[in-house]
Amino acid sequence: MTAPRKQVRLAAHFPGVNNTTVWGDPASGSHIDFAGFAHLARTAERAMFDLFFLAEGLSLREHAGHLHDLDVVGRPDAMTVLSALAAVTERIGLAATLTTTYHEPLEVARQLATLDHLSDGRAAWNLVTSTDAVSGANFRRGAYLPYDGRYDRAGELLGLADRLWRDGPGPFRAEGRQVDLHGEWDLASPPQGRPVILQAGDSDAGREFAAQRADAVFTRHASVPEGQAFVRDVKGRLARYGRRPEDLLVLPGATFVLGDTDEDAREQAAHVRRQQVSGPTAIVFAEQLWNRDLSAYDPDGPLPDVDPVEGEITIAPGSIPARAFAGKRHETVEQLRALAARDDLSLRDVMVETRARHSFVGSPETVADEIDRHVQLDACDGFILVPHITPGGLDAFADRVVPLLQERGSLRTAWEGGTLRDRLGLPRWSPAESAVRAD
Amino acid sequence: MSHRPLLLAAALADRRPLPDRGALVDRARTAEAAGLELVTIEPGPFDPLLVAAHLAARTSRIGIAPVVSTTTTEPFHVSTALATIDVVAHGRGGWVAQVDDPADVDGTVTWDVTADAAGDAAEHLEAVRALWDSWEDGAEIRDVATARFIDRDRVHHVDLVGEHLSVRGPSITPRPPQGHPVVLARADGPAAERLVAAGVDVLVAAEGAPSAAPRRFVDVVVAADAHDGLAARLIALHADGADGVVLHAEDLAGALAAVLPELERAGVRPAADDRDGPPPGGPADPEDPAGPAAPPTLRERLGLAPAVNRFEARA
């Protein structure tokens, strides 16, 4: 008997507040109305996806001293939306991103357990950490947590939540440096035992945290060899915590553009990419890299002829891309100049080329092949797909790619019973608790 | 006394340590079918904000107001969650603000809880409403020609700096359908005075307490075997000046069946059929292209004035 084929795990990411989302498309609908959330979640459920996924941002993005107005702005509260979606879906997992920095430990534990009960065992938490001062200014303690302390708080918070979920009602006490709480817990253990925990963060500390504590890693999309290296690294860390490779899923975020043929898809992708990088967006991207005001430059002209500025990030504080370029601004600018000279590209062309890549572009057959190849070659366990249109951006994928994955035996054709955790093949208890029980 | 019909709310509480989700939905629908103005989601093992969102997707015309502490929560999170409930419910959202005794919540949050819980509550409430105002209606412009999604001149920092808490804003969530979901406060004594001064819409108080709030509700606890005389008690409260009653009934359907006909006969509250809005019957399909039937908002059903946006009023 041959081993059963490895299953592709799929999640649908509600389009976010970055330039991936093409809000100017005539098909683009509200990012706030519940109908849009219901549509995307039900489409993903119809397509046998494991998860519906919501991101989080606790302040509006700012650039050059103003609110950033070029991308989608505004979103509802994730846990609230998911609790409503639990009423209009039946099988799909419901994942919210919550930072451990600006959410209270007992509130997180209660809300996730509540969602798990309201959904009959479908709650998931994408655990992130943050320390940005812009978000901190919206909360009682301000930007209280140093960068180095973010995983202390995350670890202590998750440790307390795990105990409350496991033990159910009764007195509790946590005496950590960041989480020093006590009281009486009053809620029964959630149906999954523990909601499914995803961890997003590619730093070494993030990978170690995932290996020790998480059920899945939300990471960047990469080529098959790069993905295989990431999987080897992160799953290689599991044994020291008494965990098996299949106890941690690796789920990169990915975008896609479908066409009737590969050529048709490439043409559509070229169009989408230019919509994703308008002239003003190209200037913002350049300013994140150069770390200086470039508003006087023409996006359809050549790259700015001035040097980038290393040091303190002045024009886009809090911007993740702006931070990612730190220390390699000159080197990156030189690479872009070489690219522009070689292919005779404008500033905007260069930004389209480097900042608006799609993970999968092709006919349904090509996209199904590529997705399945990544999974079967252990470059990942599946993908968190980010459509570029709200709320219909997953419709064609559900109609055309999903049946092909099902034909190959790589995606379920009927729902298994049990909870989200059961369907993902994950152990019921937290890693630390599982290790104890295995002894 | 010739004032408005008696307003009715049903308090939904549930068993510990595991509430019965189906029973919560059933009771919300029972209250909706009986024409009640709102349900309150009482504190319990389940997070009331999430239960409210869940019920909002399972009902079509009744108001939904979770009880949420000001003492143990962040105004930013409360503001966005309540705005989201109002979106899901198409303008039926509310909030019963509750002030905790600091001694009772010791050790349950990771900031230092102030002894001045009433002062903290007043600032919390102000922050929640300022965040609702931080987006003007129509701030989302989707102007393809200039590549701008919002008009940033219509999205505001709130820059509240209080004695107990500070919030910069703006909210991450646009202004909810009602502008301000209805703010009820359950409080007595000095805390009640502070919250009324801070501008709550409805004070939920012990019987007989006078109030300057636009509406005053009274909590009434009803045991399953105590339906006799309940209608007379409600009629007396109405005569005494109460605008509404929150029924904490062990047997909600039984209590409503017992009192509604008597309230109608007494001219205190018309029957459900005479009231505005689409007939009850559960929610419409959330994706219905025809859009949801537009029930009156909770503000409208309680006879409250439309919410004014402080940032638009200033302009």
ipTM of the complex: 0.96
From B113, which residue of chain A is nearest by alpha-carbon distance?
Answer: A140
- The amino acid present at B242, given as its one-letter code, is A
* A206/A345 same-domain check: no
SS3 assignment, position A198: strand
Note the pLDDT tens digit of each residue in A350-378: 999 999 999 999 999 999 999 999 999 99
Q: Chain B within 8 Å of A83 (Cβ-Cβ)? A: yes
In a domain, A2, yes or no: no
Mean pLDDT of chain A: 94
Q: Is the peptide bond before A317 cis (omega within 30 degrees of 0)?
A: no
- Final residue belonging to a domain, choices A306, A326, A355: A355
Q: Is residue A149 part of a domain?
A: yes
Mean pLDDT of B270-277: 66
Q: What is the per-residue pLDDT for B227? A: 93
As a whole number, mean pLDDT of residues B113-117 equals 96
Domain boundary among A324, A355, A386: A355
Q: Are residues A193 and A246 in the same domain?
A: yes
A211 and A299 part of one domain: no
User: For the packed helices A34-46 and A78-85, what is the interaxial angle rounded to 10 degrees?
Assistant: 60
Q: Is A205 inside any structural domain?
A: yes
3-state secondary structure chain B: CCCCCCEEEEEECCCCCCCCHHHHHHHHHHHHHCCCCEEEECCCCCCHHHHHHHHHCCCCCCEEEEEEECCCCCHHHHHHHHHHHHHHCCCCEEEEEECCCHHHHCCCCCCCCCCCHHHHHHHHHHHHHHHHHCECCCCEEEEHHHCEEECHHHECCCCEECCCCEECCCCCCCCCCCCCCEEEEECCHHHHHHHHHCCCCEEEECCCCCCCCCEEEEEEEECCCCCCCHHHHHHHHHHCCCCEEEEEECCHHHHHHHHHHHHHHCCCCCCHHHCCCCCCCCCCCCCCCCCCCCCCCHHHHCCCCCCCCHHHHHC
Which of B53, B152, B286 comes nearest A80 by C-beta? B53
Same domain for A179 and A313? no
Boundary (domain end) residue, out of A355, A373, A396? A355
In a shared domain, residues A249 and A285: no
A85·B57 Cβ contact <8 A: yes
Which of A62, A59, A41, A60 lies closest to A50 in space, CA to CA? A41
Residues of B numbered 38-97 whose beta carbons fall under 8 angstroms of chain A's beta carbons: which are they? 44-47, 49-51, 53-54, 56-58, 72-74, 76-77, 80-81, 83-85, 87-88
B162 touches chain A (CB under 8 A): no
Contact B108 A106 (CB under 8 A): yes
- Tell me how far apart the alpha carbons of residues A235 and A247 are, in angstroms, rounded to a whole number: 9
Q: Indicate which of A14, A69, A90, A175 best probes the interface with B, i.e. most B CBs within 10 Å of its own CB.
A: A69
In terms of Cα–Cα distance, which of A359, A425, A375, A95 is closest to A231? A375
CA distance A374 to chain B (A): 34
Co-location of A370 and A347 in the same domain = no
Instruction: Tell me, yes or no, if A106 comes closer than 8 A to chain B by beta carbon.
Output: yes
User: Does the CA dihedral A226-A231-A236-A237 come out positive or negative?
Assistant: positive
- The torsion angles phi and psi of B166, rounded to 5 degrees, stand at -130, 145
pLDDT of residue A138: 98
Judge: B45–A187 Cβ closer than 8 Å, yes or no: yes
**pLDDT band at residue B291 under the 50/70/90 scheme:** low
Reported as a pLDDT band with limits 50, 70 and 90, residue A318 is confident
* Per-residue model confidence as pLDDT tens digits over A268-280: 999 999 999 999 9
- The answer to whether B287 faces chain A, any CB pair under 8 Å, is yes
Q: What is the pLDDT of residue B183?
A: 98
Same domain, A287 and A420: no
Q: Is A81 on the interface with B (CB under 8 A)?
A: yes
Distance, CA of B193 to CA of B203 (rounded, Å) = 10
Residue A1: pLDDT band (50, 70, 90) is: low
Comparing CA positions, the residue from A234, A232, A242 lying closest to residue A216 is A234
Task: Tell me: do A346 and A388 sit in the same domain.
Answer: no
Q: Classify residue A129: in a domain, yes or no.
A: yes
Contacts of A75 in chain B (CB under 8 A): 172-173
DSSP-derived 3-state class of residue A13 = strand
Between the two ends of chain B, the Cα-to-Cα distance in Å is 41
Extents of the domains making up chain B = 7-314
Q: Cβ B54–A179 below 8 Å, yes or no?
A: no
The confidence score (pLDDT) of residue B274 equals 47
pLDDT at A391: 96
Q: What number of residues does chain A have?
A: 439
The reply to whether A301 and A315 lie within a common domain is: yes
Give the pLDDT of residue A439: 38
Do the beta carbons of residue B290 and residue B190 sit within 8 Å?
A: no
Running DSSP on this structure, what letter comes out for residue A130?
-
**Subunit contact B287:A38, Cβ cutoff 8 A:** yes
A·B CB contacts under 8 A: 180
- What's the mean pLDDT in B291-304? 86
Q: Which residue in the set B19, B152, B174 is minimally distant from A32, CB to CB? A: B174
Cβ A251 vs Cβ A426: under 8 Å: no
Cross-chain residue pair B53–A138, CB shorter than 8 Å: no
Tally of domains within chain A? 2
From chain A, pick out residues whose CB is under 8 angstroms from the CB of B142. Answer: 23-24
Instruction: Say whether residue B4 is in contact with chain A using an 8 A CB cutoff.
Output: no
Mean pLDDT across the stretch B297-314? 93
CATH number of the domain to which A140 belongs: 3.20.20.30
Q: How far away is chain B from the Cα of A111, in angstroms, using its nearest Cα? A: 6
A71 and A129 together in one domain: yes
pLDDT score at A438: 45
Q: What is the percent of chain A where pLDDT is above 70?
A: 97
Strand A170-175 and strand A180-185: the pairing is antiparallel
A396 touches chain B (CB under 8 A): no
Among A36-50, A248-262, B46-60, B190-204, which stretch is predicted with the lowest mean pLDDT? Answer: B190-204
- Beta strand pairing call for B202-205 and B182-186: parallel
> Is A317 within a domain?
yes
- Considering only CB atoms, A38 lies closest to which of B58, B165, B286, namely B286
Give the single-character DSSP code of A96.
E
| Cα of A153 to nearest chain B Cα, Å | 11
pLDDT digits (tens, 9 = 90+) for A112-136: 999 999 999 999 999 999 888 899 9
Query: How far is the C-alpha of B9 from the C-alpha of B234, rounded, in Å?
Result: 12
| Superfamily of chain region B7-314 | Luciferase-like domain (3.20.20.30)
Q: Does B165 touch chain A (CB under 8 A)?
A: yes
How does residue A16 score in pLDDT terms, banded at 50, 70 and 90?
A: confident
Q: Do B17 and A187 touch (CB under 8 A)?
A: yes
Beta-strand relationship, A382-385 and A249-254: parallel
Q: Does residue B1 have a pLDDT over 50?
A: no
Q: Could you list the residue range(s) of the whole structural domain that residue A152 is in?
A: 9-259+358-438
Q: Which residues contact A213 (CB under 8 A, 6 or more apart)?
A: A155, A158, A197, A199, A430, A431, A432
- Any domain includes A4: no
Dihedral, CA of residue A359, residue A361, residue A364 and residue A369, to nearest 10: -50
Instruction: List Cα–Cα distances, B102 to A200, B69, B106, B107, B109, in angstroms.
Output: 36, 11, 6, 10, 11
User: Measured between beta carbons, which residues in chain A are less than 8 angstroms from residue B45?
Assistant: 110, 114, 186-188
